[in-house]
Amino acid sequence: MKRTTLSGFILSVVLALALPAGAQVQYKVIDLGTLPGGNISNAYGVNDHGQVVGVSNGSPSVTHAFLWTKSTGMKDLGTFGVNVSWAQAINDSVQIVGQAETNHFTADAFLRKNGIKKDLGSLGGASSQANAINFDPVTKTFTQIAGWSYISDNSAAHAVTWDPSFNILDLGTLGGPSSYAFGNNCKGQVVGTAARLDGSYDAFLWDSVIGMQDLGTLGGSMAQGSAINCSGTIVGSSTLAGDAQTDAFVYANFSMSDLGGLGGSFTQANAINNAGQIVGSSRTVGDADTRAVIWTANGGITDLNLLIPANSGWDLQGANSISNNGKIAGAGIIKGHQHAFLLIPE
């Protein structure tokens, strides 16, 4: 979908207000490794302290959530007694959310706080997942967790939130059967994707006053809001008209703008920080490769592989999270294996 002059102007204003002009930041890249016996890992969340969460395979034949810190390295966060768990997000109080199997047929959202993992339950259905946790800098804790849960008859999943007392709230849908929440902010606003009556999925913004608002798409039949910062700027991905192309978007001032990509058929924006920096992934021309990318006011879209040492040995393929002080977590290929990485601005 061709961007209009107005939407392009809005995008440039949003990023220009968020970021100072200047040279593009360079990064130190850290290989987070894997759990013992494993060879694959991926990082989904990072906080301002450089603590990272994600998932790694290990031995014997398990896939577990991890917490990585500079002092301890990668620590196994365990499960609810079965083989699989994964961590989706971490805040600055080291409160972690994700999902863990409760048996071989169901899995529940969890919160790990003060070293203890709590099952958050569901709307009565078989499974739930927590994807985002916010942070109140005054109280130094969370006020809201966002994710999704199957409803009681397991016929559909609905976007949900949990409050600090672990009450679960069904956020509803846009008229269709299902919805999923992927991000929230310090004000308790939630973003995700929700089905419409016609079978399409639109990006949504939810808040406690207005409820679920339809943000639309970039012209195609599917869009997803992935993250929202404290200023209310939303990022995600959407198909274009015909659904053959998927592009990243930024939504601000009641307008969805195409962020562009590296020339391939698929680009997604996964995270935005309070400074307005956006990270994600984008396929290159001809879909020859997938590269981790960052969008900034002064640089537009930049392949993150160009911002790390040329002899690092890395092929950074996806950036999944960015902290408010600019640390980036994701996954790439190093020595033939997919490993989680942490990028530290230099």
| Strand residue runs (E) in 171-304 | 175-184, 190-196, 201-207, 211-216, 219-228, 234-240, 246-252, 255-258, 263-272, 278-284, 290-296, 300-303
Average pLDDT, the chain: 93
Residue type at position 27: Y
pLDDT band at 54 (very low <50, low <70, confident <90, very high): very high
- 8 Å CB contact between 171 and 190: yes
pLDDT, tens digit (0-9, with 9 covering 90-100), for 211-253: 999 999 999 999 999 999 999 999 999 999 999 999 999 999 9
- Asked if pLDDT for residue 282 goes beyond 90, the answer is yes
Instruction: Give residue 9's pLDDT.
Output: 32
- Asked if pLDDT for residue 3 goes beyond 70, the answer is no
Instruction: Give residue 23's pLDDT.
Output: 61
Instruction: Give residue 20's pLDDT.
Output: 40
CA distances from 71 to 285, 339, 344 (A): 40, 19, 16
What domains are there in the chain, each with its CATH number? 5-26+36-265 (2.120.10.30)
- Please give the average per-residue pLDDT across 202-210, as a whole number: 97
- DSSP letter assigned to residue 13: H
- Please give the average per-residue pLDDT across 10-32, as a whole number: 64
Instruction: Give residue 240's pLDDT.
Output: 98
pTM of the model: 0.93
pLDDT, tens digit (0-9, with 9 covering 90-100), for 109-126: 999 999 999 999 999 999
Burial class from Cβ neighbours inside 10 Å (0-12, 13-18, 19+) for residue 345 reads middle
- Asked if pLDDT for residue 21 goes beyond 70, the answer is no
Instruction: Give residue 105's pLDDT.
Output: 85
The distance in angstroms from the start CA to the end CA of the chain is 36
Rg for the chain, CA atoms, rounded? 19
Peptide bond into 36 cis (omega under 30): no
- Asked if pLDDT for residue 7 goes beyond 50, the answer is no
Q: CA–CA separation, 204 vs 119, rounded Å? A: 26
- Please give the average per-residue pLDDT across 262-270, as a whole number: 98
- Please give the average per-residue pLDDT across 65-76, as a whole number: 97
CA distances from 306 to 61, 217, 292, 314, 315 (A): 35, 31, 10, 11, 10
- Please give the average per-residue pLDDT across 182-211, as a whole number: 98
* Residue scoring higher pLDDT (8 or 304): 304
Q: CA–CA separation, 295 vs 297, rounded Å? A: 7
pLDDT, tens digit (0-9, with 9 covering 90-100), for 87-104: 999 999 999 999 999 987
pLDDT band at 58 (very low <50, low <70, confident <90, very high): confident
Instruction: Give residue 4's pLDDT.
Output: 30
Residue (of 198, 232, 231) closest to 217 by Cα position: 198
- Asked if pLDDT for residue 82 goes beyond 60, the answer is yes
